C-alpha cells in the first residue's frame, strides 16, 4: 500500500494530540483492568469464612432458610443460588448488578454466616474506577469519550505504522535495540500497538455496552429491531394458576437440579400469589447453554422455556463481547485479556518516554502538517460514521475543529 505522505503527517498529528490527552486515562483503564482480572483470586480467600461451612447434621429445609433470609437480609431476597457442594452456605440474592447483595446461611445451623454487599467490596471500587473514575455519570462519559478516541488512535496508529518503503522485520515487528533510546521506545510503542490492535478493538467493543450514550443508543436499536432479550425472558407477564398450595422452595430446587443446567443456577422467587418460579443459569464460558425456564408455582409445571437461540442477534453479540472483555471464556481468553492489558500499559509508558525525549522546552512538539493538505472525502465519511456510532467522539471532534478554526482565524489577524 502506497501511503499519502501529507495524509500520513495529518493522521500522525491527530494521533499525537489524541494520545497526549488520552494516555493518563488509558493507563488507569489498563492497570485497573489488570487488577480486576484477579477478582476471583482476591475475593475467594477473603470470603471463604462466609461462603464455606462445616458439615454437621442434616441440613434444615430450604423453605426454612428462605424464611430466615427474609427476616434477616437488608433487602428481601428475590432468588437463591443452588449450592454445588455440601460445605457451601446457601446464597440468597437481593437486587442486581451494582445493587446486588448476597446473604449466606449455614444450612446446618440456620445461622447467617455473613452478607456480601457488592458496593462495599474492594473489587467494586476497582470496577467503578475502571468504568467511571469514581465520578459517577460524569466519569462514565469521560471513559466513553476516551474509549471512542482509542478506536481513532488504533486506526491512525496502524496507518502511521504501515511501512512506506517495503517490509522489514526490525522496526516494524521487532523493536530496534541498536539505536538511540527514543527510537527504541517509539518502536516498542508502535510495534506493541500493532500486535494487540485487533484484540484491543474487540475488548473496547465489549466495554462500550456499559457506557451511557453508546450503551443507551445500542439498547434503543435493540428495542426497535427486536434483537434483544425476548419480552418474556424475565417472566413478568406470565401468571401461575392459583390452585391449592404453592410448591416449597425445596420442591422447586429439586426440579431445577433435575434439568442439569451448566454453570451457576439460580431460582428466582414468585412475585405475589400469581407470580412464577424462574430457573436460569449463568454460564459465560458457553453462552449457547444458557436457558430461562418459568414454572407455575402451584403445579410445578413449566410454563415457558427460553434458550439462547430465542435471544436477539444484537444481544447475543453484546453478551459475547462483554464476556470476552472480562476474560470469561476460559483460561486462554483470560490470558489474552491480561497480556493485552499489560501490552497496553507498556505501550502507553513507552509513548510517554519517547515523547519526553522528543519534546523541547516551551514547545508541545505537535507534528506539523503542510498547509496545502486538504482532507479527502473518504476521511470525512469515516469521521462522520465514527461520530454517528460514537456520539461523544463526534461532539469532541466538533469542539476541536471549532477551536482549530478560531486559532487559525486569530493567527491571520495577528499576521
The per-residue pLDDT for range 253-265, each reduced to its tens digit, is 999 999 999 999 9
Look up residue 216 and give its three cell numbers.
Answer: 443507551
Look up residue 18 and give its three cell numbers.
Answer: 489524541
**Residue 116, helix vs strand vs coil:** strand
**Residue 203, helix vs strand vs coil:** helix
DSSP secondary-structure letter at 94?
A: E
pLDDT at 412 (0 to 100): 73
Kindly tell me if the per-residue pLDDT of 177 is higher than 90.
no
Q: With residue 267 as reference, give the H or E element that holds it.
A: strand 264-268
pLDDT at 414 (0 to 100): 67
Task: Report which of 96, 114, 116 is spatially closest to residue 39, judged by C-alpha positions.
Answer: 116
Architecture of domain 229-311: Roll (3.10)
Look up residue 5 and give its three cell numbers.
Answer: 505522505
The per-residue pLDDT for range 24-57, each reduced to its tens digit, is 999 999 999 999 999 999 999 999 999 999 998 8
The confidence band for 123, taking pLDDT boundaries of 50, 70 and 90, is very high
Neighbours of 122 (CB within 10 A): 12
Total count of residues recorded for the chain: 415
Q: Find the radius of gyration of the CA atoms of the chain.
A: 27
- Do 250 and 267 contact (CB within 8 A), yes or no? no
Kindly tell me if the per-residue pLDDT of 104 is higher than 90.
yes
DSSP secondary-structure letter at 197?
A: H
pLDDT at 356 (0 to 100): 84
Q: What is the mean pLDDT of residues 363-374?
A: 77
Kindly tell me if the per-residue pLDDT of 1 is higher than 60.
no
Look up residue 286 and give its three cell numbers.
Answer: 458457553
**Residue 152, helix vs strand vs coil:** helix
Q: With residue 105 as reference, give the H or E element that holds it.
A: strand 101-105
Q: What is the mean pLDDT of residues 93-114?
A: 92
How many Å separate Cα 282 from the centre of its chain? 16
pLDDT at 4 (0 to 100): 78
Amino acid at each position: 500500500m502506497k501511503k499519502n505522505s501529507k495524509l500520513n503527517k495529518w493522521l500522525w498529528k491527530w494521533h499525537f494530540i489524541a494520545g497526549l490527552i488520552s494516555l493518563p486515562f488509558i493507563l488507569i483503564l489498563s492497570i485497573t483492568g489488570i487488577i480486576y482480572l484477579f477478582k476471583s483470586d482476591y475475593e475467594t480467600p477473603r470470603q471463604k469464612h462466609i461462603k464455606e461451612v462445616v458439615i454437621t447434621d442434616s441440613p434444615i429445609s430450604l423453605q426454612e432458610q428462605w424464611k430466615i433470609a427474609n427476616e434477616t437480609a437488608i433487602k428481601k431476597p428475590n432468588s437463591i443460588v443452588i449450592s454445588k457442594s455440601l460445605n457451601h452456605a446457601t446464597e440468597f440474592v437481593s437486587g442486581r448488578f451494582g445493587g446486588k447483595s448476597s446473604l449466606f446461611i449455614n444450612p446446618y445451623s440456620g445461622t447467617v454466616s455473613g452478607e456480601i454487599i457488592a458496593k462495599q467490596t474492594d473489587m467494586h471500587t476497582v470496577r467503578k474506577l475502571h468504568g467511571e473514575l469514581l465520578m459517577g455519570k460524569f466519569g462514565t462519559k469521560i471513559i466513553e469519550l476516551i474509549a471512542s478516541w482509542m478506536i481513532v488512535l488504533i486506526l491512525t496508529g496502524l496507518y502511521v505504522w504501515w511501512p512506506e518503503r517495503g517490509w522489514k522485520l526490525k522496526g516494524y515487528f521487532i523493536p530496534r535495540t541498536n539505536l538511540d533510546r527514543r527510537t527504541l521506545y517509539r518502536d516498542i510503542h508502535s510495534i506493541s500497538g500493532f500486535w494487540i490492535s485487533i484484540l484491543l478493538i474487540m475488548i473496547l467493543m465489549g466495554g462500550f455496552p456499559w457506557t451511557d450514550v453508546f450503551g443507551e443508543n445500542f439498547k434503543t436499536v435493540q428495542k426497535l429491531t427486536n434483537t434483544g432479550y425476548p419480552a418474556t425472558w424475565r417472566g413478568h407477564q406470565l401468571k401461575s394458576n392459583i390452585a391449592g398450595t404453592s410448591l416449597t422452595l425445596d420442591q422447586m430446587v429439586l426440579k431445577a437440579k433435575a434439568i442439569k443446567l451448566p454453570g451457576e443456577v439460580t431460582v428466582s422467587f414468585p412475585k405475589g400469589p400469581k407470580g412464577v418460579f424462574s430457573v436460569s443459569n449463568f454460564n459465560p464460558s458457553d453462552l449457547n447453554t444458557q436457558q430461562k425456564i418459568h414454572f407455575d408455582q402451584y403445579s410445578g409445571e413449566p410454563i415457558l422455556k427460553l434458550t439462547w437461540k430465542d435471544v436477539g442477534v444484537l444481544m447475543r453479540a453484546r453478551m459475547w463481547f462483554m464476556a470476552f472483555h472480562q476474560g470469561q471464556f476460559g483460561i486462554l481468553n483470560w490470558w489474552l485479556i491480561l497480556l493485552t492489558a499489560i501490552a497496553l500499559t507498556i505501550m502507553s509508558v513507552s509513548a510517554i518516554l519517547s515523547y519526553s525525549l522528543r519534546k523541547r522546552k516551551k514547545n508541545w512538539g505537535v507534528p506539523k502538517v503542510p498547509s496545502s493538505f486538504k482532507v479527502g472525502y473518504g476521511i470525512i465519511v469515516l469521521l462522520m460514521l465514527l461520530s454517528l456510532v460514537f456520539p461523544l467522539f463526534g461532539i469532541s471532534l466538533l469542539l476541536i475543529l471549532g477551536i482549530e478554526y478560531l486559532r487559525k482565524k486569530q493567527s491571520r489577524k495577528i499576521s
